[in-house]
Structure 1
Amino acid sequence: MKRLVVLLLVLCTAGVTRGQGTSGAGVEAALRHLDEGNRRYVEGDYRGALQAYEQALAAGYESGTLYLNMGNAYYRLDRLGEAIRHYAKARRLMPGDRVVQHNLRIAQNRAVDRFSRVPDPFWRVAWERAVATVGPRGFFVVGLLGYLVAMVLLGVRVWRGPRGPWHRRALTLAALVAVVGLAAAFGAALEGAEPRAAVVLVDEAALREAPGDTASVALIVHEGLLVDLLERQGPWVAVRLPNGATGWLPADTLGDV
């Protein structure tokens, strides 16, 4: 695993996938922080590496490889919850990456809690892969192109009259692409607006049957457990465990993915 980690650190600057509204100076600053983080990691200064990576994130960058490197640094510092959290963030952006899956599995094998996981439906897996690959902007561009083509074809139909069955089929297809693309862009934007999962970051926390310190304790969960977020109510969060069981945890015991 160590050789894989070093290789990924070398490739980190090439793995940047997102820079939202960042100026040229911001890009240069982010790349400097990435290089600094990589150097510090190789030298064994994991805290310094994390500090540099956080500065790269603050400069407006987000990438699966960056989160993977942060997970590796947290793992070296024996901060299991944060390591799993950042591996999960990396998986969200690179859902098919084998190294991410491998590192996440190694970290989760050290966690105290072991639950059989209820598999996600196939459409959920396909949707998450599509969102990670295309993103809201990509869906919007596809929908916009479909809309423009549909408008051109409609204009031709209005000004020159019906052009035959091929024209009607092309117009229908373009309109369908526009509707699906724009709807997918809206759905993908909502998907990224609110985290759907979180990781327990404290040594242990009481999962309660209702929000509030006086509610009955269903069970005790431990650091590193990955849960689905269902609902927020003040300082409490409703979560679903991998086996499908539900309960409430204090929000300050969790880190969003």
Structure 2
Amino acid sequence: MTRALPLICACAMALQASALTKTEADSLVAIGQRAYAEGRYQEALSAFDSTAIGFRSAGLCLALGNSHYKLGDAARAILWYERGLRLAPNDGDLQVNLDLASEQIRDRIAQSSTTGLGKTWSMLRGNNPDAWARHALFACLLLFIALASARLTQGLKRQAALALSALAFIAVVACVTIAWSSHREVRSMGEAIIMVAKVEALSEPRNGAKPLFVLHRGAKVSVAPDAEGWCAVNLPNGATGWVLTTSLERI
């Protein structure tokens, strides 16, 4: 896999909200990196899994996906690459490795693509609302400083401070809007990976209903909220059916 683990080094540096302490996270990441480099992929996977209990980053998702791929589990590799792309939509390594793992999947389901302004907006927004929330807080701080400066100064300096405060206010509104949009998008992204060898999508959420189509392990589908142990899955071609929730794992 390309550039297997360098990005994972950032994991231990962003564990403020993790259940692990920084020392524990550093240790687990180091163990995982060393095991992966030495070809002990199961040990590497165990270390990265332990880190993922309280922390998630694009680098960690890449490492988990690579470990699963090396162990021959393309479906779980795809799951973790997809999760990583939610956090870093433009990450080239995640996308390349996802494409490589997807070549081993039996089902070839074309994914819908976004073009034009929609694609540009998606790239700008990304899927990390926390980052935009931090930008909004910084813009708020800048706005406060600019307003304070405008109150305490005269002449051209006051005009400059007022202009800066206007720009800061626009930045606050923009960042809050993008953060809200990104948060809504992440929550509404109902997608999952099929985790059983083979499953029939049924016409109704009950055993014995008419089979409509078949999905195999590793296929990516859009999903609706669960309904008493069943989940509606949708394909890009418009096909819809019901499968047991135990047959898939949400991204």
- Would you call these one fold, judging by a TM-score over 0.5? yes
Q: What letter corresponds to residue 70 of structure 1 in structure 2?
A: L
Cα distance in structure 1, aligned partners of 2:13 and 2:230: 33
Q: Deviation at 1:78?
A: 1.8
Q: Using structure 2 for the length normalisation, give the TM-score.
A: 0.80
Cα distance in structure 1, aligned partners of 2:187 and 2:13: 18
* 165-174 or 49-58, larger mean C-alpha shift: 165-174
Aligned residue for 1:211?
205
Distance 1:127 1:244, change over 3 A: farther
Q: Deviation at 1:91?
A: 2.0
Aligned residue for 2:27?
32
Q: What letter corresponds to residue 37 of structure 1 in structure 2?
A: G
Query: SS of the counterpart of 1:36?
Result: helix
Distance 1:138 1:46, change over 3 A: closer
Contact 1:231 1:239 in 2 (8 A): no
Aligned residue for 2:102?
108
Contact 2:12 2:26 in 1 (8 A): no
Superposition CA RMSD, Å: 3.4
Contact 2:13 2:22 in 1 (8 A): no
Unaligned runs of 5+ in 2: none
Query: SS of the counterpart of 1:218?
Result: strand
Aligned length: 246
Cα distance in structure 2, aligned partners of 1:40 and 1:167: 55
Cα distance in structure 2, aligned partners of 1:9 and 1:219: 38
Distance 1:38 1:169, change over 3 A: closer
Distance 1:144 1:91, change over 3 A: closer
Tell whether 2:35 aligns with 1:44.
Answer: no
Alignment of 1:73-88 (within 5 A): 73-88=67-82
Alignment of 1:117-156 (within 5 A): 117-132=111-126, 135-144=128-137, 146=139, 149=143
Q: Deviation at 1:73?
A: 1.5
Aligned residue for 1:70?
64
Unaligned runs of 5+ in 1: none
Query: SS of the counterpart of 1:232?
Result: coil
1, 8, 33: which one pairs with 2:4?
8
Q: Using structure 1 for the length normalisation, give the TM-score.
A: 0.78
Name the % identity: 27
80, 83, 88: which one pairs with 1:89?
83
Aligned residue for 2:227?
233
Distance 1:118 1:138, change over 3 A: closer
Cα distance in structure 2, aligned partners of 1:118 and 1:232: 23
Query: SS of the counterpart of 1:238?
Result: strand
